[in-house]
Structure 1
Amino acid sequence: MIFSKEYVGYLARQTVKHLVAEKMIETGKPAILNERVAAAMIDELSLEDRINDEVRVILEAFQDDMRKTGASYPEMFKKVKTELARKYKAVL
Protein backbone atom coordinates (compact mmCIF):
# COMPACT_ATOMS: atom_id res chain seq x y z
CA MET A 1 0.00 0.00 0.00
CA ILE A 2 1.36 3.39 -0.89
CA PHE A 3 -0.02 5.13 2.21
CA SER A 4 0.61 4.36 5.86
CA LYS A 5 -2.32 3.11 7.91
CA GLU A 6 -2.04 6.20 10.09
CA TYR A 7 -2.47 8.46 7.08
CA VAL A 8 -5.43 6.44 5.84
CA GLY A 9 -6.97 6.78 9.31
CA TYR A 10 -6.44 10.53 9.10
CA LEU A 11 -8.09 10.63 5.66
CA ALA A 12 -11.02 8.63 6.99
CA ARG A 13 -11.50 11.00 9.94
CA GLN A 14 -11.33 14.03 7.67
CA THR A 15 -13.78 12.47 5.23
CA VAL A 16 -16.29 11.68 7.96
CA LYS A 17 -15.82 15.12 9.49
CA HIS A 18 -16.47 16.79 6.13
CA LEU A 19 -19.52 14.65 5.35
CA VAL A 20 -21.05 15.37 8.77
CA ALA A 21 -20.28 19.10 8.49
CA GLU A 22 -21.94 19.26 5.07
CA LYS A 23 -24.92 17.34 6.49
CA MET A 24 -24.50 14.62 3.89
CA ILE A 25 -24.55 11.98 6.63
CA GLU A 26 -25.61 11.80 10.26
CA THR A 27 -24.01 9.67 12.91
CA GLY A 28 -24.31 9.32 16.63
CA LYS A 29 -21.02 7.44 16.85
CA PRO A 30 -18.38 9.12 14.67
CA ALA A 31 -15.55 7.01 16.12
CA ILE A 32 -17.13 3.79 14.88
CA LEU A 33 -17.84 5.37 11.50
CA ASN A 34 -14.21 6.55 11.29
CA GLU A 35 -13.03 2.98 11.89
CA ARG A 36 -15.36 1.56 9.24
CA VAL A 37 -14.39 4.16 6.65
CA ALA A 38 -10.69 3.60 7.41
CA ALA A 39 -11.11 -0.17 7.06
CA ALA A 40 -12.87 0.27 3.71
CA MET A 41 -10.15 2.63 2.49
CA ILE A 42 -7.37 0.27 3.59
CA ASP A 43 -9.10 -2.63 1.88
CA GLU A 44 -9.43 -0.67 -1.36
CA LEU A 45 -5.88 0.68 -1.26
CA SER A 46 -4.38 -2.74 -0.54
CA LEU A 47 -6.06 -4.25 -3.61
CA GLU A 48 -3.01 -3.49 -5.75
CA ASP A 49 -0.77 -5.30 -3.24
CA ARG A 50 -3.01 -8.36 -3.40
CA ILE A 51 -3.00 -8.26 -7.20
CA ASN A 52 0.83 -8.00 -7.23
CA ASP A 53 1.06 -11.04 -4.95
CA GLU A 54 -1.25 -13.01 -7.24
CA VAL A 55 0.80 -12.01 -10.30
CA ARG A 56 3.98 -13.26 -8.61
CA VAL A 57 2.35 -16.62 -7.86
CA ILE A 58 1.15 -16.97 -11.45
CA LEU A 59 4.53 -16.05 -12.94
CA GLU A 60 6.34 -18.36 -10.55
CA ALA A 61 4.27 -21.25 -11.91
CA PHE A 62 5.31 -20.35 -15.46
CA GLN A 63 8.94 -19.38 -14.84
CA ASP A 64 10.37 -22.39 -16.69
CA ASP A 65 8.24 -21.69 -19.76
CA MET A 66 9.22 -18.02 -19.61
CA ARG A 67 12.91 -18.93 -19.55
CA LYS A 68 12.52 -21.29 -22.51
CA THR A 69 10.70 -18.71 -24.60
CA GLY A 70 12.84 -15.78 -23.47
CA ALA A 71 9.89 -13.83 -22.10
CA SER A 72 10.77 -10.76 -20.06
CA TYR A 73 9.64 -10.95 -16.43
CA PRO A 74 8.80 -7.21 -16.17
CA GLU A 75 6.76 -7.34 -19.39
CA MET A 76 4.91 -10.45 -18.31
CA PHE A 77 4.33 -8.97 -14.85
CA LYS A 78 2.76 -5.90 -16.42
CA LYS A 79 0.56 -7.94 -18.79
CA VAL A 80 -0.68 -10.32 -16.10
CA LYS A 81 -1.28 -7.45 -13.69
CA THR A 82 -3.33 -5.61 -16.33
CA GLU A 83 -5.44 -8.71 -16.93
CA LEU A 84 -6.03 -9.28 -13.22
CA ALA A 85 -6.94 -5.63 -12.73
CA ARG A 86 -9.47 -5.99 -15.53
CA LYS A 87 -10.78 -9.21 -13.98
CA TYR A 88 -11.26 -7.53 -10.57
CA LYS A 89 -12.53 -4.32 -12.21
CA ALA A 90 -9.81 -2.39 -10.38
CA VAL A 91 -8.43 0.97 -11.37
CA LEU A 92 -4.72 1.03 -10.67
Structure 2
Amino acid sequence: FRYHPETSSTSIRKIVEGMNHRMNEFYYRHGFVRRKVALDAAVTKVFVQRIRPGYRTGRRAVASVVHTGGNNSEAFVEPPRKAIYSL
Protein backbone atom coordinates (compact mmCIF):
# COMPACT_ATOMS: atom_id res chain seq x y z
CA PHE A 1 0.00 0.00 0.00
CA ARG A 2 1.10 3.54 -0.65
CA TYR A 3 -0.05 6.73 1.08
CA HIS A 4 -1.13 9.70 -1.10
CA PRO A 5 -2.03 12.65 1.16
CA GLU A 6 -2.91 14.87 -1.82
CA THR A 7 -6.19 12.98 -2.34
CA SER A 8 -8.68 12.89 0.49
CA SER A 9 -11.01 10.17 -0.80
CA THR A 10 -8.36 7.63 -1.86
CA SER A 11 -5.34 8.47 0.24
CA ILE A 12 -4.27 4.83 0.73
CA ARG A 13 -3.84 2.92 -2.52
CA LYS A 14 -2.95 -0.68 -3.19
CA ILE A 15 0.15 -1.25 -5.29
CA VAL A 16 -0.95 -3.60 -8.07
CA GLU A 17 2.10 -3.43 -10.34
CA GLY A 18 3.84 -6.79 -10.07
CA MET A 19 1.35 -8.07 -7.47
CA ASN A 20 0.98 -11.54 -9.04
CA HIS A 21 4.74 -11.99 -9.16
CA ARG A 22 5.08 -10.91 -5.49
CA MET A 23 2.33 -13.33 -4.44
CA ASN A 24 3.92 -16.21 -6.36
CA GLU A 25 7.29 -15.50 -4.78
CA PHE A 26 5.72 -15.32 -1.30
CA TYR A 27 4.06 -18.74 -1.58
CA TYR A 28 7.12 -20.27 -3.22
CA ARG A 29 9.45 -19.03 -0.46
CA HIS A 30 7.18 -20.18 2.36
CA GLY A 31 7.24 -23.80 1.30
CA PHE A 32 3.79 -24.19 -0.19
CA VAL A 33 5.50 -25.48 -3.32
CA ARG A 34 8.20 -28.10 -2.85
CA ARG A 35 9.66 -27.94 -6.34
CA LYS A 36 10.49 -25.29 -8.91
CA VAL A 37 7.40 -24.08 -10.72
CA ALA A 38 7.05 -22.03 -13.89
CA LEU A 39 5.62 -18.78 -12.49
CA ASP A 40 4.63 -17.65 -15.97
CA ALA A 41 2.69 -20.83 -16.88
CA ALA A 42 -0.54 -20.42 -18.82
CA VAL A 43 -3.68 -20.75 -16.70
CA THR A 44 -5.31 -22.85 -19.41
CA LYS A 45 -2.80 -25.70 -19.03
CA VAL A 46 -3.78 -28.86 -17.19
CA PHE A 47 -3.37 -28.15 -13.49
CA VAL A 48 -2.43 -31.23 -11.49
CA GLN A 49 0.53 -31.02 -9.16
CA ARG A 50 1.85 -32.94 -6.18
CA ILE A 51 2.18 -30.76 -3.12
CA ARG A 52 3.27 -33.33 -0.52
CA PRO A 53 3.53 -37.10 -0.72
CA GLY A 54 0.01 -38.48 -0.72
CA TYR A 55 -1.68 -35.16 -1.43
CA ARG A 56 -2.73 -33.91 -4.84
CA THR A 57 -4.41 -30.78 -6.00
CA GLY A 58 -6.35 -30.38 -9.18
CA ARG A 59 -9.08 -28.47 -10.96
CA ARG A 60 -11.84 -29.41 -8.47
CA ALA A 61 -9.80 -28.38 -5.42
CA VAL A 62 -8.85 -25.07 -7.03
CA ALA A 63 -12.46 -24.46 -8.06
CA SER A 64 -13.62 -25.12 -4.50
CA VAL A 65 -11.18 -22.59 -3.07
CA VAL A 66 -11.97 -20.02 -5.76
CA HIS A 67 -15.74 -20.32 -5.28
CA THR A 68 -15.39 -20.22 -1.49
CA GLY A 69 -13.51 -16.94 -1.83
CA GLY A 70 -16.21 -15.57 -4.13
CA ASN A 71 -13.98 -15.26 -7.20
CA ASN A 72 -15.96 -16.73 -10.08
CA SER A 73 -14.07 -15.10 -12.95
CA GLU A 74 -10.93 -17.23 -13.11
CA ALA A 75 -10.07 -18.53 -16.59
CA PHE A 76 -9.61 -22.15 -15.46
CA VAL A 77 -12.74 -22.40 -13.30
CA GLU A 78 -16.26 -22.78 -14.63
CA PRO A 79 -18.60 -20.34 -12.86
CA PRO A 80 -21.31 -21.85 -10.67
CA ARG A 81 -24.60 -22.42 -12.45
CA LYS A 82 -27.36 -20.10 -11.30
CA ALA A 83 -30.95 -19.84 -12.41
CA ILE A 84 -31.62 -16.49 -14.09
CA TYR A 85 -35.18 -15.31 -13.89
CA SER A 86 -36.59 -12.70 -16.24
CA LEU A 87 -39.86 -10.82 -16.31
Greater share of helix residues, 1 or 2? Answer: 1
Q: Which has the larger radius of gyration?
A: 1
Question: Structures share a fold, TM > 0.5?
Answer: no
TM value normalised by structure 2: 0.25
TM value normalised by structure 1: 0.24
Greater share of strand residues, 1 or 2? Answer: 2
